[in-house]
Amino acid sequence: MQAAAARLAALRGTCLLSGPGGGRGLRSGCARSDTDNMKPLEGIKILDMTRVLAGPFATMNLGDLGAEVIKVERPGAGDDTRTWGPPFVGRESAYFLSVNRNKKSIAVNIKDPKGVKIIKELAAVCDVFVENYVPGKLSAVGLGYEDIDKIAPHIIYCSITGYGQTGPLSQRAGYDTVASAFGGLMHITGPKDGDPVRSGVAMTDLATGLYAYGAIMAGLIQRYKTGKGLFIDCNLLSSQVACLTHIAANYLIGQKEAERWGTAHVSIVPYQAFKTKDGFLVVGVGNNQQFATVCKILNLPELIDDPKYKTNHLRVQNRKELIKILSARFEKEMTSKWLYLFEGSGVAYGPINNMKEVFAEPQVLHNDLIMEMKHPTVGKIAVPGPAVRYSKFKMSEARPPPLLGQHTTHILKEVLRYDDKAIGELLSAGVVTQHEAE
């Protein structure tokens, strides 16, 4: 304990734990005199004990904004998604590589009391603690919020679960596909007369990750105002139900049960994919003027003043007949012809692209949505880049996703000030592991 206290005092001396006036500020690091290209989360340390998608997606976004993310993994196994493939690049799964850039990996056995001690010491010098264990699992080993709050009252502790901290389902494990079914998304996804369909990407997980990301940012601002940390309860079910938005409101306000509409929209017509000679074109008509424009492009001017289609309400009522007319016209031309005709019209439109077409789109390239990195074992890799850009700082070249335990000794030595002897003992005992270069 004396050694740990000495390390903590040394860290305070470097102002890693000092904010304005000696209190805990928004950032744990020292102020910088030059603010050119300084990212908003520089100096913030994130202790990341999450696996799979929702948590890693949240912490990756925090890392993109300059936070130092320390990813805690199980020795020998690591994040579950390391094995989720194919495809693999060398021994690395594309899944893991997609959501773990800008992180350092430390492999710690938290079933060992010495491993728990390491996590607590890291929490004491970090600003944020993120985990996605079933409620009670971390408390059982001494790493629950109550345990961490005692030693790090400044901590923003974000717990991501399937169903929440309490309640009849709180002890269930949560995966995206189950939460999307349980929370209603799967019921409204799929062809109108077909079976429910899982969305092509784990949107419930990703939405939860974005909620957690925003909540952590709010927590940091709250701490800046109050000087105190807090606990954040974020879960897949709540995120999914909240994201039902107008579909949920249709039921809660109008008692209207939801249906599946394929690519169409329950309340807007036309707003769907239309088959062309060689593919599909998606068209969204948001008002009567846009409907008139579409009718002119399709050379169907007679529809503009047809009393059955004068307003969106009427178009919804007469959906079947109108869509039949529009569909017959769209099928007569190639997608490229329709893209040319719709260009500059003011109407929202676009093709249904496959992945090859997405990443060949000029706008996707212009938005820098392909992020290339040099991975230490597999060489150059490319993943989707950050969705948001900022005027006062740039998203600099990202660090590649870490190898399992790649930074274990670095973190113990540089962050916690362990000496070589202590690190060697932990490695020998299997409390921690360090990736050995091949």
What residues are annotated to the active site? Answer: 205
Single-letter code of the amino acid located at 23: G
Tokens of 408: 């274990």
Nearest to 426 by CA among 136, 115, 214: 115
What would the two tokens of residue 362 be? 């000029």
Q: Which amino acid, 34? A: D
- Antiparallel, parallel or unpaired: β 103-108 and 68-73: parallel
Angle between helical axes of 203-226 and 54-64 (0-180°, round to 10): 50
- Give pairs for 189-198: CB < 8 Å, separation 24+: 189/260, 190/260, 190/262, 191/260, 191/262, 192/259, 192/260, 192/261, 192/262, 192/264, 194/260, 196/260
Give the Cα separation of 102 and 219 in Å (integer). Answer: 21
In the block, which residue shows the tokens 């070249």? 397
In 72-202, where does DSSP find H-type helix?
94-98, 113-125, 137-140, 145-151, 176-182
How far is 94 from 85, CA to CA, in rounded Å? Answer: 7
Amino acid at 162: G
Q: Are 122 and 415 in contact (CB under 8 A)?
A: yes
Place of tokens 């040319």: 340
Residue with tokens 């500020």: 25
Residues across the chain: 438
- Side-chain-side CA neighbours of 306 within 13 Å: the count stands at 17
Round to whole Å and give the CA distance between 117 and 121: 6
